[in-house]
Amino acid sequence: MKGLEELNLPDDIRYAKSHEWARPSDGAMRIGIDDYAQDQLGDIVFVELPQVGDTFEKGVEFGTVESVKAVSELFMPVAGQVVAVNDGLEDGPERVNNDPYGEGWMIKVRPVDPNDFDGLMDREAYVAHVKG
């Protein structure tokens, strides 16, 4: 496992306490799990994601990630409607481990309230949260 100083935690995204991230993208938000979460889970072997058109409230489970260690739920960091799903994870779930903010993104959501993004933690607050 990586030490906290080794984690890739970009400044241009926001983080949820449940270790999902959100990044604004063309009027929507891309969502995935962060480097800390993928590192804790270990090798990811399966990702279950919702369908385009599904709507979720903030904090509600939207899918699961299965690793060699455990199955973990995914929770919505913002309320909104799914407008895209990363189909590449179906055949390549390891992308979440290799590139959690790039090829390992999970869903793209059109938020109900774009200001929800501001309610998520910035990098500094998230690092403090992970430290406990």
| CA 33 – CA 35 distance, rounded (Å) | 7
Q: How far apart are the first and last CA of the chain?
A: 17
| CA 125 – CA 119 distance, rounded (Å) | 11
Express as a percent the part of the chain with pLDDT over 90: 91
Spatial neighbors of 8 by CB under 8 A, at least 6 apart, are 35, 100, 101
* Structure confidence at residue 2 as a pLDDT band (50, 70, 90): confident
- The DSSP line for 83-127 is EEE-THHHH-TTHHHH-TTTTT--EEEEES-GGGGGGSB-HHHHH
Q: Over 90: is that where the pLDDT of 127 sits?
A: yes
* Structure confidence at residue 3 as a pLDDT band (50, 70, 90): confident
Query: Could you give all domains of the chain from N- to C-terminal order, each with its CATH number?
Result: 12-131 (2.40.50.100)
- Condensed to tens digits (0 to 9), the pLDDT of residues 81-125 reads 999 999 999 999 999 999 999 999 999 999 999 899 999 999 999
| Average pLDDT of the segment spanning 73-88 | 98
